[in-house]
Structure 1
């Protein structure tokens, strides 16, 4: 376990990294914090939430913490959380993984715990910018692959992971937005809170577009695949229509019986060829009229 404590004059910030349950209980004992809140703070995959308990407001937010291209499809693998316990004179942050932006914030000055908390939440929100942009670029690449390349193919596996990642990010941002809508801050911090809300809405809109694009690309891919199958079947049907009557004629006159009258005709061979050519021409003209070819 690692901990950092800083006194800003009007309030104190206690940052706790990777604590065990007993260590966390001992550290927060002077604050009389409900043990259920500490259990939520330690739970690995907990979604964003807000809960008031006595003088403390308890919140959880999650930050995107993996490379955007990695194929993960769960909240716990794509993100990590920070739990906040905030009141007038104290801010306690609890997390299992290190965050680089916390090191930067430790060197800055803040007027009150709300301002510091909002600064941390903003940094957590900005971690979603890279996956949002990556997903947007991937959807563009997929569309170009399908519509601009003659034999464009899209990996259904990668498209699944991209859609799942967009859906999970959208869910996390929606929960975070709900938490921020419940949060009441001092008048001097309202502007910062509103900026964070607007940024979340912007990211959610981009993720909505990515999800819609993924579904559209999937439908288009399936349609093109079905169309290619139909084209193959159409071609096979046309060949069958041409060769079935010709095969019938060849089969009849290929039988080894002496009493087939046409076998003794002087012009029988040429007449048979004429009949087969005529049948082929008639079939072709009929297909042409019906716009099958």
Structure 2
């Protein structure tokens, strides 16, 4: 039964990356070598391993992890490659499935000798939409899966994940002390991941203010769908930030987490403060988007009322004129006033007087 369950999970993982009737069989270690970067602590700091990555090297790293800490970074690994790492290091198969899921919710799971964490970060801002989206109401995010234990750190992410790349460059440049402790490396990655959301929200705020200005200048432009879409995306981002805020709070409190040192907890508390600011900013922008939507509806309603008022006044003025013209347009043989030469100009004076009197009345009532 256990073999069947594991086989079915691996089948689901393969389907995440490969489709079609005939899927090519790949070498997990070859895929792993293409995706992995291994850094081992040499007593001074984390340094990249120059030799070829093999199963023997990984097994030795795992066995010696308490004497020589290591950081294994996996960039867009295949399911087979990640499963090979999980098998060597004893990671639970369900964590592999979660790590390969592109839209998995942020979470932190505590296992026997390691922590498994899922983070989500906004990828950036698009020129076409307020927030980049995948489908309706979903922020385009980059996932980061983390295995953290005493003496080892394994990160799994897509290509072009800037926070990991920046931290890796700093570590390889050997101009930092963060590589003395793996939890500091994790802090540096998460800190950059959270901070890169601030420019995105700043762009969203500018876009909402631009839409607000268009409401009063370009009445023919229907901006309501854009505003509502922005609001949905902000609500999604707020939910992600709320989940990650709880994760960071737990890391900052070191709730029975032996892989987080006491002196590192204060750094996670700082990132927690940033996450709180992001969530508060999302709430503020959601309220701003709601106000803009309400302002748009109010302006549209006022414009409709102005049109209806104009049509009503126009119709009211024409009603007595239509009555007069209708009366004297009837085909009766005996209408004595029609024989009087001055009656035609007199009728024009009466109709003009009616129009002028009604306009004065409307203006006095401030309807015009």
Say whether the fold is shared (TM-score over 0.5): yes
The 1:41/1:150 distance shift into structure 2, 3 A limit, reads closer
RMSD: 2.3
| Aligned counterpart for 1:254 among listed residues 311, 323, 329 | 329
Q: CA deviation at 1:47?
A: 1.3
Structure 2 counterpart of 1:35: 93
Q: CA deviation at 1:257?
A: 2.0
Work out the CA distance in 2 between the residues paired with 1:119 and 1:40: 23
The answer to whether residue 113 in structure 2 is matched with residue 44 in structure 1 is no
Structure 1 counterpart of 2:49: none
Task: Indicate conservation of the 8 Å contact 2:139/2:236, yes or no.
Answer: no
Q: CA deviation at 1:140?
A: 2.3
Length, aligned pairs only: 292
| Aligned counterpart for 1:127 among listed residues 190, 196, 199 | 196
The answer to whether residue 99 in structure 2 is matched with residue 19 in structure 1 is no
Q: CA deviation at 1:135?
A: 0.7
The answer to whether residue 297 in structure 2 is matched with residue 235 in structure 1 is no
CA distances 1:233-284 after superposition (whole Å, capped 9, x unpaired):
1111111111111011111102232122322234432442343234324423
Q: CA deviation at 1:141?
A: 1.9
The higher relative CO (CA closer than 8 Å, separation ≥ 6) is in 1
The 1:105/1:247 distance shift into structure 2, 3 A limit, reads same
Indicate the larger mover: 274-283 or 176-185: 274-283
Q: CA deviation at 1:220?
A: 0.9
The 1:262/1:90 distance shift into structure 2, 3 A limit, reads same
Say which SS state the counterpart of residue 236 (structure 2) adopts. Answer: helix
The 1:234/1:197 distance shift into structure 2, 3 A limit, reads same
Task: Indicate conservation of the 8 Å contact 1:139/1:214, yes or no.
Answer: yes
Structure 2 counterpart of 1:162: 230
Q: CA deviation at 1:152?
A: 8.5
Q: CA deviation at 1:208?
A: 1.9
Gaps (5+ residues) in structure 2?
1-30, 44-67, 172-177, 255-259
Say which SS state the counterpart of residue 92 (structure 1) adopts. Answer: strand
Q: CA deviation at 1:153?
A: 4.8
| Aligned counterpart for 1:171 among listed residues 232, 239, 247 | 239
The answer to whether residue 154 in structure 2 is matched with residue 84 in structure 1 is no
Q: CA deviation at 1:224?
A: 0.9
Work out the CA distance in 2 between the residues paired with 1:125 and 1:65: 11
Task: For 1:132-281, list aligned pairs within 5 A.
Answer: 132-147=201-216, 149=217, 153=221, 155-183=223-251, 184=254, 185-281=260-356
TM-score normalised to structure 1 length: 0.90
Q: CA deviation at 1:52?
A: 0.8
| Aligned counterpart for 2:120 among listed residues 54, 62, 68 | 62
Say which SS state the counterpart of residue 110 (structure 1) adopts. Answer: helix
Task: Indicate conservation of the 8 Å contact 1:73/1:164, yes or no.
Answer: no
Structure 1 counterpart of 2:40: 7
Work out the CA distance in 2 between the residues paired with 1:141 and 1:11: 51
